[in-house]
Amino acid sequence: MAAKILALFNLKAGTSVEDYEAWAKTVDIPTVNGLGSIEKFEVFKTTGLLFSEDKPPYQYFETIDILDMDAFGAEASSETMQKVAAEFQAMVDDLVFIQTEKL
């Protein structure tokens, strides 16, 4: 079953934008996109709120287009993905995963 997951997050105090973005580009994005259960994985940096001077509530968000949730669950439990997930968790704060359904 296909699904789209959104992940919203901020960086932890002490995690630099440069370090996180370098890691995302060289480790996270290629690793997740290499999974057979993933159609597409993208990471976005927020740049502002439309028609507002307020700061966005999240610095980054990810979109994860999953082809098969069961296969993704199996792949996510692999040693490689557990290492990537641990590195991610060490850098981010206020993490929210949102499951979606297309209308």
The domain spanning residue 96 has which CATH number? 3.30.70.100
What is this structure's pTM? Answer: 0.92
**Which range of residues forms the domain containing residue 74?**
3-100
Specify the residue for token string 């949730």.
69
What is the total count of domains within the chain?
Answer: 1
Q: Which of the four pLDDT bands, split at 50, 70 and 90, describes residue 85? A: very high
What pLDDT is recorded for position 15?
Answer: 98
Rounded alpha-carbon distances, angstroms, from residue 57 to 5, 6, 13 = 18, 15, 15
